[in-house]
Structure 1
Amino acid sequence: MGFDPEKKGFANLSADNYGVWAPTMESLLKTHKLWMVTGGFSCEPDFVDADNPTKEEKREWRDWMEEMGAAAGMIFLCLDDTQKINVEDYRRHDDPVGMWTSLKVLHHQKTMTTRFTAYDTFFSVRKDPDESLSALHARVVKIMADVRSLRPSNFNLSKLDEELQIMALIHALP
């Protein structure tokens, strides 16, 4: 099955859509049987005798390298130009694991700043004039999932209260 980035049905990764892009991209990679190499679940094939690999071992290694290259290429084609610089070295080495990890680290930081941005998005939701209530609900649920995903494991109500107070103070500044 060929891949046409123009017909993929979702936006390329930009500075502010990682929460939507990542699971959709993961699903795309899975449908093309490229998630195992991207997620780091598929290791480079070993040779019984590295100096004298069999034809089967050479074929397995070549197939694995082709999967790595295909996954790296697919990820790269699903990035905005502004994001490509972040993974160029990994792309050049056909390293989809490095690309995926680098993008996750860059875009999915569980810091107060990223949570503030997510809270701001959440509290800024407004119904578009032509938007149905079910579409609005879906959008709110998705944004809330993004907010939850940015919380560290030790996050609690006291931490939320503290962050909301800080956010209110920042918003109150001229």
Structure 2
Amino acid sequence: MPDASASKRIKALTKDNYVSWAVDFSALARSKGFCRLLKGTETCLQDPDKAEDWDTRQEKAGGELMLSLSEEQRIHVKGKEDDPTAMWDALQAVQQKIPGTCSNTFDDFFALRKRPEESLSSLIARVDTLYARIKDLRPPAYTLDFLDQELACMALIRALPEEYSHFVSALMLQSTLDKDAVVQVFIQEENNRTRRSTAPVASSEAVLAVSLV
């Protein structure tokens, strides 16, 4: 009996599991013979007989890929269903466009601690998984200066106490996140908190939207 639900064997892609999902789906693609097609290293041949087989595998790759996505992730590949390479690239690009995603992953990375009954081999595997995710989330032109800016932003954000949780949540949703912008938002938030007892001010979310444009 044919396996019509191979993608069901791997956990669907969500906003939080891109690295493990990508590893699992790449393995599935290799087992099904369309990994190179998925990653764009195999192109359509001019031979009509071979081109038909390529089209079939192209459709299969797109179908398997769509089945492996959660509902919230399917919006990112809308209109690309007939091009699995474009779908794959779009999903990877989404991970790199959300500054908060990488910062949260760094946060998880530095918060790692050995569990009471965990083996050292298991700990190493968890570190490797998170490190791979951090690498996948880096933009194409990643530099040491970019890393320095990112670490400085993380230090500022991680230093805030719980009472700033809503402010941090709004900050992490912004489309840009660099040290100068974060510093300006911090200063504005401090000014707002100072004046809040005497006059109404804009919400943290509104301030962030203006300050980080």
Q: TM-score band, normalised by the shorter chain?
A: 0.7 to 0.9
In structure 2, C-alpha distance between the alignment counterparts of 1:80 and 1:131, rounded to whole Å: 31
Largest Rg, 1 or 2: 2
Q: In 1, are the aligned partners of 2:8 and 2:67 still within 8 Å (CA)? A: no
Deviations 1:56-103 (A, max 9, x none): x2x333222111110001111111121122213222xx2111111111
Change (3 A) 1:129 1:31: same
Deviation at residue 110 of structure 1 after TM alignment: 6.9
Q: In 1, are the aligned partners of 2:8 and 2:68 still within 8 Å (CA)? A: no
In structure 1, C-alpha distance between the alignment counterparts of 2:78 and 2:98, rounded to whole Å: 25
Q: TM-score, normalising length from structure 2? A: 0.63
Runs of 4+ more than 3 Å apart:
110-114, 126-133, 148-154, 158-162
Which structure features the higher share of helix residues? 2
In structure 2, C-alpha distance between the alignment counterparts of 1:6 and 1:129, rounded to whole Å: 34
Deviations 1:103-152 (A, max 9, x none): 11112x17754431221111232444554332222101211222234345
Amino-acid identity (%): 35
Superposed CA RMSD: 2.6
Query: Is 1:25 aligned to residue 28 of structure 2?
Result: no
In structure 1, C-alpha distance between the alignment counterparts of 2:77 and 2:123, rounded to whole Å: 34
Return the match for 1:100 from 84, 88, 112: 88
Task: Identify the structure with bigger relative contact order (alpha carbons < 8 Å, sequence gap 6+).
Answer: 1
Change (3 A) 1:95 1:114: same
Change (3 A) 1:44 1:24: same
In structure 2, C-alpha distance between the alignment counterparts of 1:103 and 1:5, rounded to whole Å: 20
Between Structure 1 and Structure 2, how many residues are aligned?
159
Q: In 1, are the aligned partners of 2:61 and 2:84 still within 8 Å (CA)? A: yes
Secondary structure, in 3 states, of the residue corresponding to 2:45? coil
In structure 1, C-alpha distance between the alignment counterparts of 2:45 and 2:6, rounded to whole Å: 30
In structure 1, C-alpha distance between the alignment counterparts of 2:87 and 2:102, rounded to whole Å: 24
Unaligned runs of 5+ in 1: 48-56
Deviation at residue 25 of structure 1 after TM alignment: 1.0
Deviates further, 123-132 or 61-70: 123-132
